[in-house]
Amino acid sequence: MKENITFTIHAIDQMRLESRDITRIEVEEAIKRGEIITQYEYLEQNRCDEVQIQAYDPPLFISVGMCENRLVVITAWRGTK
């Protein structure tokens, strides 16, 4: 599964913020055990469909784009939606 997950530069920057301090492993685990709470479908060809995933322990929210055969992590944050 790891090889099918890509992180955008924005996601990496947001995960590194002192207030967030989120690791790639935490994000990958949250994707595995979390639940989709929101789904967006885009008609534009150059834009991937997007979902938001919520995991509870630890509480994480992740936005990912579903592009062909990979998940692109757009951003991740702790706390509330």
What CATH number corresponds to the domain at position 35? 3.30.2310
Distance CA 69, CA 66 (A): 8
Domain that holds residue 44: 2-78
CA distance 14 to 22: 8
Token pair 């885009």: residue: 42
pLDDT band at 7 (very low <50, low <70, confident <90, very high): very high
62, containing H or E segment: strand 59-67
Judge whether residue 11 has pLDDT over 80: yes
pLDDT at 61 over 70: yes
H-state helical runs in the chain: 9-16, 24-33
- What is the C-alpha to C-alpha distance for residues 4 and 18, in angstroms, rounded to an integer? 27
Total domain count, the chain: 1
pLDDT in tens, 19-39: 788 999 999 999 898 999 888
Look-up of token digits 């991937």: 48
